[in-house]
Amino acid sequence: MCIGAFLVLTCAALPACARPTAPASAAYLSQANSTQVELYFGRRTQGRLITEPEFHDFVLKSVRPRLPGGYTITQGTGFWTSPSGEQVDEETTILMVAFPRETPAGVINQSIDPIRREYCAQFAQQSVLRLDTLVNISVAPK
């Protein structure tokens, strides 16, 4: 099963994560220069773990062509409760990509939504969690 709306990140158990030091201010958000999209891919399917080669093949065929500007993939562990009440701990792969803030939502959706649909179809998942956040991105000069 894939991570759904019931995902609880392990970070929530940590005091520093549970109590942010400062809320995001309106001024900070008004200066955000990018939209960061995160996709959370559950790695269990039909009682087995989706292998690294399987996931890598999915990335090459479904992700890379749609996000040619670049992205980051990292690993995590998620927890969620299914509609039937089953509690699930699951290995999770997190894909992060940033778009310039002026990028229309429709353009972002055209890049992101097919990735989610293809993952669900290929690996018999219920969903892929998507999280969009306004962020300030800066790259340090050499």
> What is the band of 15 on the pLDDT scale with cuts at 50, 70, 90?
very low
53 in helix, strand or coil?
helix
> What is the band of 17 on the pLDDT scale with cuts at 50, 70, 90?
very low
Tokens (6 digits) for 48: 């087995």
Q: Looking at the whole model, is its pTM more than 0.85?
A: no
CATH of the domain at 73: 3.30.70
Is 62 inside any structural domain? yes
Is 89 inside any structural domain? yes
Is 123 inside any structural domain? yes
User: Mind listing the pLDDT tens digit for each residue in 118-136?
Assistant: 999 999 998 999 999 999 8
Is 47 inside any structural domain? yes
Is 142 inside any structural domain? no
Is 21 inside any structural domain? no
Is 100 inside any structural domain? yes
Q: How far is CA 97 from CA 25, 46, 85, 103, 130, in A?
A: 23, 28, 32, 13, 11
Q: What range defines the domain where residue 79 resides?
A: 39-135
Burial readout 13-25 (b: 16 or more C-beta within 10 A, e: otherwise) = eeeeeeeeeeeee
Is 112 inside any structural domain? yes
User: Mind listing the pLDDT tens digit for each residue in 48-68?
Assistant: 999 999 999 999 999 999 999
User: What is the number of structural domains in the chain?
Assistant: 1
